[in-house]
Structures are given as structure tokens and as C-alpha cells.
Amino acid sequence: MVADICDENGWRLRGARSLAAESLQIHLTGIILPSLCQDDDVFHWVIDGDPMPHYSASRTWEGRATKQSTVSLLVQHSVWFKMATPRHAFLMWIAHNDRMPTRVRLSSWGLGTSTSCCLCDSALETRDHLFLGCEISEQIWKLVLRRLGYTHSAFMTWTSFIEWISLKDSTTPLILKKLVAHATIYNIWAERNKRMHQEISSTPPTIYKLIDHNIRDTILEKKKIKKSFKTLMLSWLRNV
């Protein structure tokens, strides 16, 4: 309950990590503490400015759907597709919305940490640099893209990366492209965390092998429930 996060001394909230969260906390300081109020708790649903007598899933969806652009729908299809690996898709969604706690973001929250990339230590650790522009990430992508049969070895921007995931081509099946992109982002982030928190590092070929294992395991698991996955392993192994 709301009353559980405040006491007679005020609100017990962690530091704000965004302007929206900061604005909310500023607003909360100007209202009566729920822990001191004797009235019963109530809730209000408001969709597109219209007060609702009760929660409506359909109205909520309609309110969100009308605000989505073609680009955002394209992103959703590239992230939340049916056969995606849940933990990979979740991290991919956070990365696309640029909500990963990179060192630059951690520094912006006032944590006083270094802003240098954990992988190369030669540039600011932003999302685009960490996953696409870092020399370590570029080496990983070079191995991955070559495995898929592509001649390019890197991506210049996050937008071009998302467009590549979303578009069908004759080089590799679209679903395999999505699975590999997700696994690559996931393993780059895992490597970053190992270096930052455990001071353990792996080489790009070693990380590439982890991605290979992820894809093989996913295909073997999914082919039991989806017939199209039976030929996906051949596509993944053809350029070994």
C-alpha cells in the first residue's frame, strides 16, 4: 500500500533516477502523508484525461495504441516476438528505451562513478557506445554477423541496428536474426557486468561462443513446439 512507503517522518523513497521520478517526489512532499490520513484508500483511473468508474483493459490498450508510431510498433515486433527468449527480450527492451544503468547514467544520478566504458576504457559508456561502438563490441559483432552471412561488420547507430533487426532479407531468416541480436546484446551486457563487479574479463571469441551456445539451446528447445525451428539450426550452422 502507499502508506507502507511513508511514516511520521515523511516518505521513504530511493533517489530519483529520472526527471519524471524527481517531479513525482517533489509533488509528494506537498500532500498529506497517507500514514497520517484516517480516510479509506481510494483509487482513480484516468485514460486520455477521462475519469473512469472502473479499470478497463480495452480502453487502456486503445489509449496506448493510438499513441504508438509505426516505428514503435516495428520495435515491439523486433523485441516481443513470440519465440523470443524472455530474459533476452526484457533486456533488449530496456536497452532500446535507453534505460540501462550504464556508467554515464549512473554518474548522472550523482553516484560519482567513472564514466569510462567497462569494456574498452577509452570512451564514455553510453548505450550506443557500449553495445555498438566499443572496440570489444565491434569484434563480437564482426564474428556474429559473419556467422549469419553478412558482409558488414558493425552498426553506426542504434536506429540502423533496429532497422536491421526489423527488415527481412535473403541472407538469413528474420527470426534467427532477432534471436542472435538479442543474445548478442545480452552477452555484451553480461560481460560488462562481470568486468565491473567481479573484475573478470573474457575475449570476444569467448563471448561469441557463449552467443553460439545460447542460439543452439534456443533452437533445440523451440523446435519441439514450432516446426519452422527445425530448419533454423541449418541456417545457423551453414557458415561455421
Share of the chain above pLDDT 90, in %: 51
Confidence of residue 35 (pLDDT cuts 50, 70, 90): low
Averaged confidence pLDDT in the chain: 86
Q: Is the pLDDT of residue 198 over 90?
A: yes
Main-chain phi, psi angles of 72, to 5 degrees: -65, -35
Burial class, 103, CB count within 10 angstroms (exposed 0-12 / middle 13-18 / buried 19+): buried
| 153-170 pLDDT per residue, tens | 889 899 999 989 988 999
Taking only the tens place, the pLDDT of each residue in 100-124 is: 999 999 998 888 889 999 999 999 9
Range 215-238 average pLDDT: 86
What's the pTM value of the predicted model, to 2 decimals?
A: 0.72
> 116 or 62, which is more confident?
116
CA distances from 72 to 79, 96, 162, 166, 183 (A): 10, 10, 10, 11, 21
H/E element holding 46? Answer: strand 45-47
Rg (CA), the chain: 22
